[in-house]
Structures are given as C-alpha cells and as structure tokens.
Amino acid sequence: MPSTFQRKNIGIHAILIVLSVLMIYPVLWWVGASLKSNQELSLPGLFPVHPMWSNFSKGWNAIPGHTFTDFYINNFELIVGLIFTTVISCSLVAFGFARLQFRLRNFWFSILMLTLMLPGQVTIIPQYSLFHHLGWVNTYLPFIVPHSLAGGAGGSFFVFLLVQFIRGIPRELDESAKMDGCSWFGIYWRIIMPLTKPALLTVIIYCFLWNWDDFFGHLLYINSVDKYTVGLALRMLNDSQSAQQWGQLLAMGLVSVVPSVIIFTLAQKYFVEGIATTGIKG
Amino acid sequence: MEVTVATSTSKRRMAKLKRWDAFITGHLFISPWLIGFLLLTLYPMVQSLYYSFTDYSLLEEASWVGMRNYEKIFTIDTRFYQSVKVTFLYVLGSVPLRLIAALFIAMLLAKSIRGMSAYRTAIYFPSLIGGSIAVSLLWKNIFGKEGYINQVLDLFGINGTGWINNPNTALGTLVLLVVWQFGSAMVIFLAGLKQIPQDLYEASNVDGAGKIRQFFNITLPMLSPTIYFNIVMGIIGAFQMFTPAMIITQGGPMNSTYVYALYLYERAFSQLQMGYASSLAWIMLIIIAASTSVIFLTSKYWVFYESEKGEK
C-alpha cells in the first residue's frame, strides 16, 4: 500500500513542521528584536523595518570601563581550564572504575551514583565558607579545583558516562598490552584514551555548555567586574539600565548563545547519538 | 601460566600482596574523584548539617543554637511555607508536562523519514540555550505587559495581562519556559525507544492490535525504566530551579514565583544567615529524598525490566 504510506508520512511532516516552527519561533523573534528600536519593539512584526545594527555595537560597549570582549576572554579562559581539567581527571577516574579490580570499587561507584542526585544546595554553604577562608572568592579557583577533582558542574555524570563507554571497549586490548609489559597508566594513556575519543568529545561538549552559563556559580564566586563572565555582564546590563534598552540587551543575549550554537552545529551527531551510546537506562 | 614452585603459604602471601597492589593502584586512579568527594562533598555535607544547628554568618564562628532554626522555620517562617508551596506547584506543573511533551515528540522523531535530522535540530535547539540567563531575559521581554505575546493578542482584540506581573500567571510562564526545553529528556526517550525490539510491534500487528493498544501495551511498559529515570531526574532538577525565578520575576509578583532555591540563596548570601540557610538546605534534601523515594517505592508496580541479563 504505497499510497497510504506516503500519505501517512505527509501527516507526520506536517506535524513536525508545525512543531519545529513553534519551537524556533521565539528564537526567530529574538533575532528580529535584537535589531529593533524600543519603539519598534512594541509593534508585533517579526523583523524591524529599520534594523538598528547599532544595538550590537552599543550593547557591546554598554558597560562603562569594559567591553564584552573582556567578558568573552574571561569566559573562554575559564572554560578552557575547566574542559582541560575535566577531561584529564574524569578519564583517569573512569578508567579506574571501568578497568581495575580492587576492593571497595563497587562501594565507591555507588557513592558516585548517589552524588549524581545530590542537590548542590546541601554543600554550597560550607563550600563557599571554605573557599572564602582560603581567599579564593573572586578568583576562578572555586571552579578549576572542583573540576580537577572530577567534580564541579557535571563531574560525576561525566565519570559515569566514560565508565559506560570504556566498559564497551574489548578487554583483549589491555590484556595483550599487559603481556607486553605495559603498566596500567600506559594502558590508560596509550590504549584506552585514544579509543575513548567519541565519549570524550561528548564530555567536552557538555562541559562547555553547562559551564559557559553556570549562572549560579558565577554569581556566587565572581564579584569584580574585570573578572565577570558573559552571563554576569548580561545581568549587570539588565539591572543597570533604568530606561531599559531592550534592543541592546537582547542583542547581547543573542551573541552570548552563539558559542553554544557553534559547538552544537559542529558536533550535532554526538549530541543526539552521544547519550544513546552511553546506555542510560533506568 | 602458573609457575607452581611456590609453597601454598607464600602463594597466599603473593596473592595478598597482589590484592594490596591492586587496591593501591585502583585508588590512585580514582583519587581525584575520591579526594573531591571527601573534601568537597562529604565534609561539606557533615558541616552543613552541623551549621543547621547553629547561628553562622561566615564572618563569625558558628554558635550552637540546637533546634532553634528548625523550630523557627516550621512555626513562624511564612516565607518558608510560601516557597514550599510555590516549588511544589512548579514541580507538579512542569515535570509531567515536560515529560509528556518529551515522550510524544520523541515518538514522532524516532521514525525514520526524510529530513528528520533537521526537525531534530530545530526541536532540540531551545534546550541547547535554555538554562542561560540570555533566554531568561528573552522570556522576560516576550511575556511582559508590552511584550510580544500581548502584541499578538492585541491583533485579535484581546487585552492580555502582564503575564510576569500577574501573580496568577507568573509561575505559569516559568513552567512554560522549562517545558519548552524538553530536549534532554527527549533525547533519553529517543535512546530508550531505539532499544524496543521491533518484532514486538510486528507480532502485535499480526494479532491486529491498533496503534493505541500498542502504545499502552508495548511502548509504555518497555519504556518504563526510561520514564522512571526521567521522572526522578526531572523532579530533582525542578526542585532546584533558580535562574529564571531570579532573572525574570525576582520571586515576585507577591512572592508567586518565590521558589525554594531563591529563598535559600537570599537567606545564605544576601542576609548571611548561613546557619538558618543550612537548615533550609537539609529540609530541601529531605523533601527531595522523600519525593524520589515515593517514586521509587511505587516503581515496582509500573516499571518493567524485560530481563536481568540486559543489565550492566
């Protein structure tokens, strides 16, 4: 019955097109609005008649004494450090859990799974107090140090994801390397790490996305403008303008999501497939 | 390749030594996480439990007050009750809606038809940027009194309310924001759907079962472990909602969006009442643990595992 088959697909296409438009519509409006003047913002059109490109240039320089260039540099510096420390620490830990047999392993692993569900609010106050007394407030150390200890935003999840992936790599590879006198570290570094690349890429992507905009963390620990990340700068822009320049604010907001969009486009395959391969199930 | 010259005692000693060696090596590999867990999770947990029985302001030493924080919270703290109420409304509204959207759209996207990856991208897109402060600002504008929603309603002659300024609708706009970002749950559903053996559907086709019966008798039971996972993670996430409430409504109007995490943040970091805030944090942990336990206890009635052999 080829004809009914075809017709059925047309129905699905119609539903999916409507859905896609519905989902994307606010973003389209956002793009239009970032080019609007305050007057045009109160009109219902999607795109402005007279696009105000100056929203972008003025918004970029709207915070006195700084430009958004500074905030982007800050954000990228922070995030490169976090990705680097996360990849190293989480892969080491995951290798230990996935490949080595030792006492207490299962015990620690179930603790790790429990921490996946622990709400951050329970530890945030003593952590803040600790970092405060170490003089780390208003530095990036409250982010870097937890990430180098396989923690921070997403840490336990990344370990879990990598463990699942490494368990899928055939053990014969390590066995033969061991026969050749390779140490455990050698096996980790020369055999497992190269084979884990797809999962590491997934980790890098999520690490980027979650930390690019870890608003709560940035809000707590970063308080001088010269260390501000993009999210904090946006909040400042939102609070500081008495007569709101919505166009500028929306323009800067739009720019702030561009890095995530680029990462998403480059690594799309890993997004939708990435989680599937890790076998998250119940 | 055993070399059997060793006597049984020295063999046992060798084995013991080997086990000890493995113990050390294993712990060395997991040491980054282990140190992090002990210093940045376990110790702070114990400490926050201790703080919850003290007066603590960060600048001074904590002083023991016994149960006083908890007594205050449960007897005279009206903001606590308000924030609990708002948070429960938010959880009960957002978690089911988000899951239903995620499940149905995942089922549409699981089909293999032309152009599917474009649809997936479009539908996943809001979730990609969702939690960011930029999107909260967008929402604030769209649902404002002069915002886009009201401009459109105006075209139809409807005079819309200020959605985020009206205590009856403000929380609803925040629910809508998180429902719009069902992508991560959807991706997990997609993975779960792929694992359902196709022959189950084929067999039931032969038996003449319709689409709806297939959904209730095959898809839902086979997907129940995934649904369970998504419910638990959704509840835990929803209880901690913070950024939208902080940016879009600041907890207002009339505390109608004053969620628990916002209240805790204000007590701890605006008023520096860290002892009191620690009590709030422990109450939150207990509420979340209780809610997920309820789901866990009921799960044996509705979560089906096909067999144990598939488990890792």
For A124-156, what is each residue's pLDDT tens digit?
999 999 999 999 999 999 999 999 999 888 889
Q: Are A183 and A243 contained in the same domain?
A: yes
pLDDT band for position B69 (50/70/90)?
Answer: very high
B302 touching A, CB under 8 A?
Answer: no
Domain assignment present for A99? yes
Cβ neighbours of A97 in B, within 8 Å = 29-30
Q: Are A123 and A43 contained in the same domain?
A: no
Q: Are A76 and A48 contained in the same domain?
A: no
Domain ranges of chain B: 8-51, 69-302
Among A32, A59, A86, identify where a domain stops. Answer: A59
Q: Are A48 and A100 contained in the same domain?
A: no
A275 touching B, CB under 8 A?
Answer: yes
Cβ neighbours of B19 in A, within 8 Å = 102-103
Domain assignment present for A282? no
Tell me the longest C-alpha to C-alpha distance in chain A: 75
Task: Retrieve residue B226's tokens.
Answer: 């995934």
State the amino acid at position B250 in one-letter form: Q
Cα separation, A162 vs A278, in Å, equals 8
B27, B142, B187 member nearest A26 (Cβ) = B142
**Per-residue model confidence (pLDDT) at position A242:** 57
Minimum distance, in Å, between the CA of residue A31 and any CA atom of chain B: 11
Domain count, chain A: 2
- Mutation test of the interface with chain B: which of A16, A111, A143, choosing the one with the most B Cβ atoms within 10 A? A16
Beta-strand pair B63-64/B54-55? antiparallel
Per the CB < 8 A criterion, the answer to whether A211 and A143 are in contact is: yes
- The boundaries of the domain holding residue A46 are 2-59
A 29-48: CB under 8 A from B: 29-30, 33, 41-44
- The CATH fold assigned to B69-302 is MetI-like fold (1.10.3720)
Q: Are A100 and A221 contained in the same domain?
A: yes
Residue B174 sits at the vertex; the CA angle it makes with B168 and B179, to the nearest 5 degrees, is 125
Minimum distance, in Å, between the CA of residue A265 and any CA atom of chain B: 9
* Inter-chain touch A100–B242, beta carbons under 8 Å: no
Q: Are A110 and A231 contained in the same domain?
A: yes
Per the CB < 8 A criterion, the answer to whether B143 and B160 are in contact is: no
pTM of the model: 0.88
- A8-49 pLDDT, tens digit per residue, is 688 888 999 999 999 998 999 899 889 988 888 877 778 888
Q: Are A50 and A151 contained in the same domain?
A: no
Q: Are A118 and A249 contained in the same domain?
A: yes
Cα separation, B140 vs B111, in Å, equals 36
pLDDT band for position A175 (50/70/90)?
Answer: confident
pLDDT band for position B160 (50/70/90)?
Answer: confident
* Inter-chain touch B27–A101, beta carbons under 8 Å: no
Domain assignment present for A151? yes
Cβ neighbours of B264 in A, within 8 Å = 121
